[in-house]
Structure 1
Amino acid sequence: MDLVKHTGGCHCGAVRFEVWSSPDLHVFHCNCSICTKKQNHHFIVPKNRFTLLQGLDSLTTYTFNTHVAQHTFCKTCGVQSFYTPRSNPDGYGIAPHCLDPGTVQSVTVEKFCGEKWEESMQAHKSIRDMSRPAPNTVERKSQDKT
């Protein structure tokens, strides 16, 4: 899989990040209580493909229920451009609508039934693997990084 460097951030610009991912995004549309309220759509990447460029001091975190998901958002504008999902605590969920234009070729949306989270996770065969680095990911990232 060829990876491209996407950049993005929150609305006010306080939070900026880069993420290495396919230009063809596989985005989840979840219907759990918080994703419904926030209209959270996200794609999942391993932690080693994400770099926070600026704004650590501008982030705050909300947790609830199991407290595994870390819903990070900008203290100034309130935008959640990325977070740590319960499904993949070893990765990040990235909001595709917070990416800068120019690097996304396509978006495929998959519905995920967060209202029945445990059943949905058990039935989904590949979601947990989405935050695991591919064997050559780290090597490729270091070669491509500018």
Structure 2
Amino acid sequence: MAESTSAAASPPAPTLVVHRGSCHCKAVLFEFDGRRDLVQIECNCSICRMKRNVHTIVPGSRFRLLQGEDMLTLYTFNTHTAQHLFCKRCGVQAFFIPRNNPDGYAVTVACIDPATFDSIQTETFDGQNWE
């Protein structure tokens, strides 16, 4: 009698699209690979709350800075793990490297070309009480 094994079918990998974005003056241009339906994070930590920043998390391997590295200025505080990058010309923070995900990027949703996504789901993150 032959023994048969059935492997569980794994779900197909999500289809990724190229999202493009920039700061306000277009000195800083970036792109990343992500789903058409984005998840944005609303964080209540002190800096996100004061900036009213809502962002989507992108793995570092899927993020590409296309232009403007020389136009970025850095702000850090507290543990100096998070790297808050701003355009020197217009002051917009198109993305930053978050403390809770230092191998990725937190991309400001308002800086992403809206033609590249279909929908946005909002999740909250309690950054004020994290750790």
Q: Name the TM-score class by shorter chain.
A: 0.7 to 0.9
Structure 1: runs of 5+ lacking an equivalent: 119-146
Counterpart-to-counterpart distance in 1, 2:124 and 2:100 = 14
Which amino acid is 1:95 matched to?
A: T
**Structure with a larger share of its residues in strand:** 2
- Show the 5 A alignment for 1:1-146: 1-118=14-131
TM-score (norm 2): 0.88
Give the CA deviation at 1:101: 2.6
Counterpart-to-counterpart distance in 2, 1:113 and 1:91 = 18
Which amino acid is 1:117 matched to?
A: W
CA deviations over 1:38-76 (Å, ceiling 9, x no partner):
011111111110110100000011000111100001011
Which amino acid is 1:103 matched to?
A: T
Which amino acid is 1:50 matched to?
A: F
Counterpart-to-counterpart distance in 2, 1:34 and 1:101 = 25
Give the CA deviation at 1:113: 1.0
**Structure with a larger share of its residues in helix:** 1
Q: Which has the larger radius of gyration?
A: 2
CA RMSD of aligned residues (A): 0.7
SS of residue paired to 1:114: coil
Which amino acid is 1:85 matched to?
A: P
Structure 2: runs of 5+ lacking an equivalent: 1-13
